[in-house]
Amino acid sequence: MLGPQKEAAEQIGISKIIGVATPRVDGPLKTTGSAMYASDFHLPGLVYAWPTTATIASGSVTGIDLSTAKGMPGVLAIYTHENIGPLYRTPPAPVLSLMIDETRPPLEDTTIRYYGQYVAVAVAETMEQARAAAEAVKVTYSKTAHNTDVHLIGSGVNTPKEVTKRGNTTDALKSAAIKHDAIYSTPTETHNPIELHASVASYKDGKFTLYETSQAVGNHRDVLAAVLGAPPDSVQVITRFLGSGFGGKLWPWPHSALAASCSRNLNRPVKLVVSRSMMFQSVGHRPAIDQRIQLAATSTGKLTAIQQDYVNHTSVQDDYDEGCGEATGFIYSCPNVLVTGNLARRNVGTPTSMRGPGAVPGLYALESAMDELALKLEMDPVELRLINEPEMDESTGKPFSSRHLKECLSVGAEKFGWAKRNPTVGSMKNADGLTLGWGMAACSWIATRIDAEASVELRQDGTARIVCGAQDIGGGTYTVIAQMVAHETGVPVRRVEVVLGDSSLPPGPISGGSWATASLTPAVLDAARSAIKAIVLAATKANGSPFKGKQESELEFVDGGVRGKGGDGTTLSFSDVLKLSKAKGVSGSGKSQGVFGDNQSPYSFHSYGAQFAEVTWQPEIARLRVSRIVTVIDAGRMLNPRTAKNQIEGAVVMGVGMAMLEATEYEERSGAPINSSLADYIVAVSADCPQIDVTFLDYPDFKLNSLGARGVGEIGLAGVAAAIANAVQHATGVRARRLPIRIEDLLSAPEPSPSFA
């Protein structure tokens, strides 16, 4: 650790700001309704667009009758594949550049690939008029057989791709003393943030301005520029606030290009808000996944083989790979590991990232299988994981930058009271006579950082302003950035203005992958130090300054002021330096170089955790509830423990939904997602929330950045569904290998492990 990074690491322990629970700086805007979300923007001359969606899942459009719709009140235009104007596909690009999941531009042709695909769009003076016109468009189809089957094993379209491989799993599985072999299935899950996807597009004088629901404004700009055939500098994307995204708003979807194209055609601002039912059709989802897990171990519990073969569904036109083996290669020590992946094409919209893509469903399968292996070994599940702790990342041969999974397991077990667990099924009761089930799981999530830039201005009025083209998607980025600037400059958090969510600002990281904070930290600190350096220089030159004529090396900046090194004598606030300099402010810029995908990086960067779950079971009325979750997280230094805890708590509740409630169902005859409303797609609500106990282990990861921060957006969800499934088995004796766990599963006899002879 060298230079500023070492200095920051030394100072972090005594910071009055970093690591302190801090209220959200954007909280007053949100609680008063002043925060502007994408669909809140109402531009002069605004009109509304509403798509017409396909009512078949496979086939082609044979005719579109617009005669009735065109004559309806307020209708300005109706666009189809014949008149929407030029829209293009994005060209090949490097990783994390021009990212888009549904690669086909809207209304490109007449082929129908999934139910709900856009076939036309109506534009009118009001939203009600646009919707009425869109629904009056008469479309005829030539229908062909569709496939929305969620049973995926054996239906992959390619030769399975090797994701991770070491040793020889075939031989190890054959010779194993103890082995386990089972299939675990997770359903299609649909992101359901309260804020619907929306685009407000304006085209004027050759420039597009889009107010968007985006988790990556810079990428959104570049993709829209390519799709529209416009120079990137003629497109501006703005996302001031986001009503959550969970990964579904990472990359642009067809409605955004439709809104922009309609605005260009009409030369008027256009608002297009996707309906709740369309959220199940054309803006992505976590795919259905089948995973076969094979484990082999010695009689003492040492793993000798792990094989994971997964198949996820994707659309008929795009290759979306969930990446379920993300954690399998390094989470446990094992000499023989093989992970393969495959895709099964289905007539559904293209899947996309959903909170914890890859690791979350992958760890559900692996950690369920580890629990079943522990039962065969007659070994405590925590002990099984502890004895298989690796000394390094065995998938790469690199040392871990920081890994405290063993402590997560031991601290979690102590806080949960795991020592009191009776392993006999159904043997434990609470004070109300309900059967208790206790289960646990380990978890992991990638830690990394990507390129970022920022600019900090110190102003004569004693305030600071920082600008960055990142975005706050609800996790607290505005606040954490304000804390970092305050920590470095001495300006109180309340006096730091944070400006985000605009692609015209210095490029920031995407808000996905739990990467934003780790990526922003070096850039923000660098920018603040650059501005501080300018203040110190100004103090040596300003008339009336007690430091005029001194060398910069003789001075230091502490708590918002310049003083001589050693702390003796006068301190001049940066505000006074600027007044003496007759300058309104000084600025500094900073950059952060990413390490994502850098094979030359000397370390393996990940976060870790342990999830402990308690369920209560009333067999008399078949009532199952998750009553308690204890989660212990090793994710570096928490810059703001308050917002970090919020993230983990929200992720845990999402894990309850994953385990017990959520599944998108496709109607067999039409191929439509039929539970496409918040009345029919069941998510966890307040009444479903268990008691949640969150503990953060305080081990800053200074190898990742100088504040030791890693992200927490995803790690809180990883392992939760497995811990709940393991607890259900302990309470009921039923091993649920297909999520969500339904009451019907618990009323029937347990299924035997499938045979793969």
Which residues are catalytically annotated? 714
- Provide the 3-class DSSP secondary structure of residue 551: coil
Query: With 0-12 CB in 10 A as exposed, 13-18 as middle and 19+ as buried, what is 316?
Result: middle
Where are the alpha helices (H) located in 516-615, listed in sequence order? 516-539, 574-581
Residue 128 · residue 134 · CB < 8 Å: no
Token pair listed for 372: 């079943």
- Provide the 3-class DSSP secondary structure of residue 421: coil
Query: Residue 707 corresponds to which amino acid?
Result: L
Residue 728 · residue 739 · CB < 8 Å: no
Ramachandran bin of 651, using left for φ above 0, alpha for ψ from -120 to 50, beta for the remaining angles: alpha
The CA-based angle 637-639-645, given to 5 degrees, is 90
Token pair listed for 425: 């099924």
The CA-based angle 27-28-31, given to 5 degrees, is 85
Within 8 A by CB and 6+ apart from 403, the residues are 606, 608, 634
Residue 363 · residue 444 · CB < 8 Å: yes
- In this structure, the number of other CB atoms found within 10 A of the CB of residue 307 comes to 21
Q: What are phi and psi of 284, to 5 degrees?
A: 85, 170
Task: Please choose, from the candidates 336, 341, 332, the residue with its C-alpha nearest in 3D space to the C-alpha of residue 308.
Answer: 341
Residue 514 · residue 443 · CB < 8 Å: no
Query: If you search the block for the tokens 């969620």, which residue do you land on?
Result: 150
The CA-based angle 627-407-8, given to 5 degrees, is 115
- In this structure, the number of other CB atoms found within 10 A of the CB of residue 420 comes to 8
Write down how long the chain is.
757
Task: Please choose, from the candidates 470, 590, 463, the residue with its C-alpha nearest in 3D space to the C-alpha of residue 524.
Answer: 590
**How far is it, in rounded angstroms, from Cα 197 to Cα 207?**
22
- Provide the 3-class DSSP secondary structure of residue 655: helix
The H or E element containing residue 732 is helix 720-732
Query: If you search the block for the tokens 């603040």, which residue do you land on?
Result: 528
- Provide the 3-class DSSP secondary structure of residue 271: strand
Q: What is the DSSP secondary structure assignment for residue 690, as one 8-state letter?
A: P
- Provide the 3-class DSSP secondary structure of residue 39: helix
